[in-house]
Structure 1
Amino acid sequence: MTSMLYPELFKSLEQVRWNMDTDIPWDQFDASMLSDEQAKTIKMNAITEWAALPATEMFLRDNRGDSDFCAFMSVWFFEEQKHSLVLIEYLRRFRPDLVPTEEELHKVRFEFDPAPPLETLMLHFCGEIRLNHWYRCAADWHTEPVIKQIYKIISQDEARHGGAYLRYMKKSLSKDGDAARAAFAKIGVLMASAHRTEKPLHPTNLHVNQALFPNDTVQSRLPDPEWLEAWLDNQIKFDGEWEKKVVDRILHNLSLLFERPFKTVQELNRYRKEINARLPAEAAA
């Protein structure tokens, strides 16, 4: 029997948890270094981070049989909502006119259709890697010192969350074998092929409720549904070099997970086909 990961993850994340009062250098705020354009993007990120709420409801529903993972959600949910909170606090202090309303926040809370738990786990693992890089890029773009620091801090949280999801993926391999490998490889190929799609590949930008289509992505429910693409392309300039970093991290981690080196998405796709070819034979056995 595999042991629970939650106690150890709780302890390790607790040890590096940052404090909103003492770890954010609020007194270093420089109003001359914050533009209207920058401040508006902070509002959009604050609302997007609030979507951890419906994501948690989805995780708890679809992983009812996995109490270990659901217990970890208590930590993930707390830290993700804190990201929204610190961005809102920044606006409350320095741009109160841009603080999101409760109605704007509540609008991104809607039900996600049930989905296969293994695929969803991998999707969010890749999402954490992508968000870590988005926020690092945003920290470079911003000029105001306090918000630069906030984005650096929350980007580190996202990296740790990715590491925690990877631990649960490893646990799934020992339990579900090739079914887990197939699910992780399939989503890995999709999420590492973002350059082939027109829209940013992140869980908040994917359709998750057929009945609400096309208004069924988190981004579609923001005050400005077109914000994300503009933020990435025209503002923080998340270019091909940054995208390559995301793809490299996904491939590196899957190389460790599957104990086979993947230098390219094509190599990962070949592995995916190999696993899929094995699956029917395993099911028959």
Structure 2
Amino acid sequence: MLYPELFKSMEAVRWNMGTDIPWDEYDASKLTDDQAYTIKMNAITEWAALPATEMFLRDNRDDSDFCAFMSVWFFEEQKHSLALIEYLRRFRPELMPTEEELHKVRFEFDPAPAMETLMLHFCGEVRLNHWYRRASDWHSEPVIKAIYKIIAQDEARHAGAYLRYMKRALMHQSKEFGASARIAFAKIGVLMASAHRTPQALHPTNLHVNKDMYPLDTVQSKLPSPGWLENWLDNQIHFDKEWEGKVSSRILHNMSLLMETSFNTVQDLNRYRKVLLKDVAPA
């Protein structure tokens, strides 16, 4: 089981919201109204760990090890939301999300292949790490800069944990399971490393997850300002091609380690995916 070791490692570096955030360094002159509003949107977005956890538990019912790890992931993700809400409570109480606004992002996700979802969320954590690092750079107010830096580090650790479960899947006693997992990881890897080619931000909270609710079936569509994410990325934190390239490089680097094959470009990974599909075609 991976859960006991992952629990121990994450417990060792867990931060305390009361003592590890420099609340007393707050400088109101360095926070604009627009910046404060983006904190509210991120707080609500992080709350969507709740329906994501419900999805993971449902779709991985036969994997108690992974579901146990969800207790750690869920706790830490909800803690991110709580830290951002606490920031607003202390310094911009008029912008605190209401319980109704938070509950609105809790809706059912359609069932999906577990390995594809695992890879999707691995890539999502890599992307969030880079988004929050950029957000920390963009803000000038000391407390929120520190918060974004702290939660960015959490997202990187979560990506590492998901990668451990991906490695475990490839070594599954069933060769067919391992082969299908390899195809799933390559497929989603090609998609998520190609964000520079798409008009929308490729993150789990921005993807369609419930066909009966389409097109209002993304987490972002449930927010008070559904279009805030693109504006935040493009015009505020300036998550440009250089930063997208960093995300793509991290995904390709980890896929290279996972598959024990070198992928320098998305095209390399896509060619590898096609070879995998060709190999299983006769079966």
TM-score of the pair, normalised by structure 2? 0.98
Alignment partner of 1:170 out of 167, 170, 181 = 167
**Which residue in 1 is equivalent to 2:180?**
179
Secondary structure of the corresponding residue to residue 121 of structure 2? helix
- The residue number in structure 2 matching 1:71 is 68
Of the three residues 67, 73, 96, the one matched with 1:99 is: 96
Aligned equivalent of 1:247: 248
Q: Deviations over 1:114-145 (max 9, x none)?
A: 00000000000000000000000000000100
- Aligned equivalents of 1:180, 1:171: Cα separation in 2: 10
Q: CA deviation at 1:18?
A: 0.2
Q: Is 2:143 the counterpart of 1:146?
A: yes
The yes-or-no answer on 1:277 pairing with 2:278 is yes
Partner of 1:40: 37
Q: CA deviation at 1:100?
A: 0.2
What corresponds to 1:226 in structure 2? 227
**Within-5 A mapping of 1:114-133:** 114-133=111-130
Counterpart CA distance in 1 for 2:280 and 2:258 is 19
Please state how far the C-alpha of 1:279 moved relative to its aligned partner: 1.5
Partner-residue secondary structure (3-state), 1:113:
coil
1:280 CA displacement: 2.8
Tell me the C-alpha RMSD between the 2 structures: 0.5
Shift of 1:195: 1.1
Compute the displacement of 1:196 (Å).
1.2
Quick one: distance in 2 between partners of 1:25 and 1:233?
Answer: 29
SS in 1 for 2:281: helix
Determine helix, strand or coil for the equivalent of 2:14.
coil
Distance in structure 1 (CA, Å) of the matches to 2:187 and 2:123: 12
Q: How many residues align?
A: 279
The one-letter amino acid paired with 1:5 is L
Aligned-pair CA distance for 1:162: 0.1
Stretches (4+) displaced over 4 A? none
Could you tell me which amino acid in structure 1 is paired with residue 196 of structure 2?
H
TM-score by length of 1: 0.97
Aligned match of 1:110? 107
Q: Distance in 1 between matches of 2:93 and 2:181?
A: 46
Identity fraction in percent: 78
Shift of 1:262: 0.5
Match of 1:24 in 2: 21
Aligned to 1:191: 192
Consecutive unaligned residues in structure 2, runs of 5 or more:
none
